[in-house]
């Protein structure tokens, strides 16, 4: 089952997402070189991202290359945008109330 929220909850995985967003595609060894953990641990993080649909991998010879699939992040963006509107409305209401008090 795809859980985008669980996948992005971890700061290591968020960093991996950013790395992949800034690159077209990265091999496992280049990703692993950016972290203080072994390739196995990096692979486990990438597996969580892949399970959430955020990462696509492909084999090139013996090497596995990864790239970002940002489409599932839309789910998070939509969720966050609801709360942006919610708070914007609340702040506008507070502003109106404070302006009424000043009159």
The CATH number that domain 1-70 falls under is: 1.10.10.10
pTM across the whole model: 0.78
- Report pLDDT digits (tens) over 25-43: 999 999 999 999 999 999 9
Long-range contacts of 6-12 (CB under 8 A, 24+ apart): 6/48, 6/52, 7/48, 7/49, 7/51, 7/52, 7/54, 8/52, 8/54, 8/73, 8/76, 10/45, 10/48, 12/37, 12/45
What are the sequence ranges of the domains in the chain? Answer: 1-70, 72-103
- Residue 75 pLDDT greater than 90, yes or no: no
């Amino acid at each position: 089952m795809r859980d985008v929220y669980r996948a992005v909850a971890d700061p290591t995985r968020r960093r991996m997402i950013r790395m992949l967003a800034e690159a077209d595609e990265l091999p496992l060894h280049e990703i692993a070189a950016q972290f203080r953990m072994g390739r196995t641990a990096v692979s486990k993080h990438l597996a969580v991202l892949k399970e959430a649909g955020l990462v696509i991998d492909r084999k090139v010879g013996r090497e596995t290359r990864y790239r970002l699939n940002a489409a599932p992040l839309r789910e998070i963006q939509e969720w966050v945008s609801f709360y942006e509107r919610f708070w914007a409305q609340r702040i506008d209401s507070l502003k109106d109330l404070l302006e009424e008090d000043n009159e």
